[in-house]
Amino acid sequence: MKKMFCVLFGILLLVSSVIQAQVLEAENVQELSKDARKGELVNFWYNPEARDFVLIFAREKGKNVINEVYQFDYDLKLTNQETLEQSAIRDKYPDAVVVETAPSGTWNNPKVVRTDPAITGQIVLAQGTLTREWAKMVEDKGNYRYTTHYWKYNFEEQQRVTPKFEGIFQLPEGAPALVVKMAKKAAEKIVQLAVSTDEPTAEVTTGRQNFVYPSLWTRTRDYAGASGDILIVGRSDQMDYKTKEPKQVFVLLQYSAEDLSQKHYETFELEFLQDVAFKQVLPDGSMVLVFAPIGGPGVKGKSPNPSAYFYVRVGKDATLMEKIPFESKGGLWVIQNAVLNNNNEVILYGAAVEKKKDKYFNMAGGVVQGSCDNIQIMKIANGAVSYLTSVNLKDLEGKVKKPGNQKKAESYAGKDFTMSNSCTQTTSGDFLFSGQTADHSALHIFQFGANGDFKGQYVINTEKQVKETPIDYTLFENPDKQTVTIYLAELTGVDKGRQLKYPRLATINVGNISVSEIMSCGFGKKGEFFLDDMYPTTLIDDGAKVVFFSRDAKDANIWLGRVKLGN
């Protein structure tokens, strides 16, 4: 049995490395046969022992299936081309996928839990089973067709339960019975703030994947490794009848998917009235929430400091792990992402508005990342704030870096900009996150050190990007542990419903805060070849090199390129 690396389609979220200046080591243009052009690429693999690549195109011809096989060596030269009937393909290539059937594996209509907030805001839990059906959709796209395989999920409800706040409820003596009843009902209500479960939902599909090995058929996690239990963070709105001021009690709940039994119940309180400004589930199943003060004219129980936030982390078993107060340096903070590192530390980042430091979160008037004047990053470690760094626009502008073959670079301006969840943590402890301008003309990458110190801003201008479409890109550390690759899929247009993209790469040297020249691949003197979700992009040699497969607009030829990354 061959030892293989599986393909990563279209834009691969690579985890690898980059160099001081990436190098195109090998390339080749291969003409495809008529059958290959009219068929589908149904198999691809790289054999690291033989150091060769195999692509198999399949085409239905009458009642038969014709397989066109192309084999390339390490330097991307064609070493074998042959046509095989369906009956012979497995004999020569045992690893080939020749039948479009549902992935193998056990599926026992698992029990799951959903939340169904009522009109009143009260959480209602629905428990039932998850059924699925293997589906296929074929789309004609000009010169060839896409085949989409996916699971259709359906949720079949079996029972419901309504969680209630179990705290002590008190009213002044002599209160009318109707008032007592209404107040008690309001106090028992739990309003949903956040919810998570480790199961696929009824709306999950696999997306476009023409062929993959069984472990990659679906983007949802394997059901066997999940419980189906549900974690809920809720709030009960109370009244302190002694002070006549509102009071909030936050409730943590866990319910079993098996029988809807309550597995955990816990409450906590925060100083002054708070609202959820950010929430996110981390890879370990825990949940991060950041609470911001609520205020405004006539609001009782409000914090005197609009920047007095609370960081809360809840375990996947609904236990309170951390409750940490902190004050935002950058003012009103629009948190973009929370990242969990290998040391169980959490890093949060996003843009902020210092000029609205005196504004309460609920009174900010819809502040978005398009009107900010600084960037803020915070790390939580060992139950405390490790660092909280705010960098203003002037400091950002003073550390702009650009590729040597790029004419100009404009610094982040705090407006017309969208920050993303694309981030990279390096072995050295540095942290890089990114965003792009509203017109998609430039990519900005911000580098912070292990202690939260701002090191540099890298600006990569797009070349032929269609302005209405976001930049497709990824960042990843190279095996040399000294550099980071910037990988963009540059968009030149759309042809018959297919996006025309080509790869561009640059390398960041994390240590000396520099960026290499940016390089374009497969789009130049040898013609115009485009990335496609039908053709693979894959890392080889433990991530030290990347191999691209691109096609021309007529699907008559493919371009193969091997690029060395890192030092």
Model confidence over 255-302: pLDDT tens digits?
998 899 999 999 999 999 999 999 999 988 899 999 999 988 878 888
pLDDT at 349 over 90: yes
pLDDT at 242 over 70: no
CB 29 within 8 A of CB 522: no
What's the rounded Cα separation, in Å, for the pair 422 and 337? Answer: 9
Burial of 378 (0-12, 13-18, 19+ CB in 10 A): buried
Query: CA nearest 389: which of 451, 452, 337?
Result: 452
* Phi, psi torsion values for 178, nearest 5 degrees: -65, -40
CB 487 within 8 A of CB 475: yes
What's the rounded Cα separation, in Å, for the pair 463 and 523? Answer: 12
CB 169 within 8 A of CB 179: no
pTM of this structure: 0.86
Q: What is the pLDDT of residue 529?
A: 92
CA distances from 56 to 99, 143, 347 (A): 13, 17, 44
What's the rounded Cα separation, in Å, for the pair 42 and 158? Answer: 40
As beta bridge partners, residue 395 has none
* Phi, psi torsion values for 165, nearest 5 degrees: -70, 130
CB 22 within 8 A of CB 16: no
Would you state the structure tokens that stand for residue 131, as one six-digit string? 């059924």
Q: Give the contacts of 297 (CB within 8 A, at least 6 positions apart).
A: none
What's the rounded Cα separation, in Å, for the pair 126 and 172? Answer: 36
Q: Give the contacts of 237 (CB within 8 A, at least 6 positions apart).
A: 186, 187, 189, 191, 246, 247, 248
Q: Compute the half-sphere exposure of residue 45: CA atoms within 13 Å on the CB side of its CA.
A: 18
Would you state the structure tokens that stand for residue 519, as one six-digit string? 């390089």
pLDDT at 497 over 90: no
Would you state the structure tokens that stand for residue 513, as one six-digit string? 């805060």
Least confident of 26-35, 448-457, 527-536: 527-536
Summarised one tens digit per residue, pLDDT across range 177-234 is 777 777 777 778 899 999 888 776 544 433 323 222 222 223 334 555 678 889 999 9
As beta bridge partners, residue 247 has 238
What's the rounded Cα separation, in Å, for the pair 253 and 197? Answer: 12
